[in-house]
Amino acid sequence: MADITDLIMEDHAWFREQFARLDLLRGDAASDAEALHTVWRPLADRLDLHAAAEEEIFYPQLLRVGEEDPAAETLDAIGDHNDIRDGVRDADAAPIGGDAWWDGVTRTRLANDEHMAEEEREGLADFRRTAAAGLRESLGRRFTTYFEQHPHAETVRRDLDPETYVDTVENALDRTTEDPSLGIGSLRAVGGFRDTDSLESAGNTKGPGPQ
């Protein structure tokens, strides 16, 4: 079974490849809006789904077992995810192929490149050192299933307030510690905030925007 840190890295590699494909299209005078859309739409949707899947499945567990100041790592990551979502939203608000669209794509790429490097160096590295192989693999299964259960990025495309997110997860972890019978189900409930909107009422700031 796949380790969640490997699956996240596979998505990161795919993101880099898709931005490189956009470079080629930009340099090809024959490319049109349809060609750009064919690369951009799956890329933009997967960026949003990837961030949401990490927020639901990976970061709650990093907060639980991480040892390199996981709260700071998570605050940074959620802020970065918001920047990536902002870039996607800006590009999608502009006519495809125009200057404003390319500006949005470039902002998305810059935010994502910076974030992936930090996530790989910090959160993922911390998690590989501290999480048991069985946990990394069970989370890998959940990560894969997430994309089957969420085929449409529109359902997850919303910003989160980083501090509210960390507080909500840490409070749920505390409850689990006080009452072990809550077990992993409680953490799943934390992960389900996107569906139950509990975080939205507590601090989400913006509304909406494949595998």
Closest CA to 9 of 147, 125, 94, 170: 125
Question: Which of these segments, 14-22, 113-121, 163-171, 182-190, binds Fe ion (CB under 5 A)?
Answer: 113-121
**Residue closer to Fe ion (CB basis): 45 or 54:** 54
Whether 187 contacts 173, CB under 8 Å:
yes
Question: Which of these segments, 6-14, 60-68, 154-162, 188-196, binds Fe ion (CB under 5 A)?
Answer: 6-14
* Total length of the chain: 211
Question: Which of these segments, 8-16, 105-113, 144-152, 166-174, binds Fe ion (CB under 5 A)?
Answer: 8-16
3-state secondary structure of 65: helix
Question: Which of these segments, 5-13, 67-75, 136-144, 146-154, binds Fe ion (CB under 5 A)?
Answer: 5-13
Closest distance of CB 55 from Fe ion, Å: 8
Closest distance of CB 99 from Fe ion, Å: 28
Closest distance of CB 103 from Fe ion, Å: 22
Closest CA to 4 of 124, 129, 151: 124
3 binds Fe ion (CB under 5 A): no
Torsion on CA atoms 175, 179, 183, 185, rounded to nearest 10:
-60
Closest distance of CB 198 from Fe ion, Å: 21
The rounded distance, in Å, linking the Cα atoms of 129 and 185 is 24
Amino acid symbol at 65: V
Residues 44-83 that bind Fe ion (CB under 5 A): 54
- Residues whose CB is less than 8 angstroms from the CB of residue 154 and which lie 6 or more positions away in sequence, other chains included: 208, 209
**Residue closer to Fe ion (CB basis): 36 or 62:** 62
- Residues whose CB is less than 8 angstroms from the CB of residue 157 and which lie 6 or more positions away in sequence, other chains included: 48, 52, 85, 88, 89, 208, 209
Closest distance of CB 164 from Fe ion, Å: 17
Closest distance of CB 56 from Fe ion, Å: 12
- Residues whose CB is less than 8 angstroms from the CB of residue 99 and which lie 6 or more positions away in sequence, other chains included: none
List interacting residues with Fe ion (CB under 5 A): 8, 54, 119
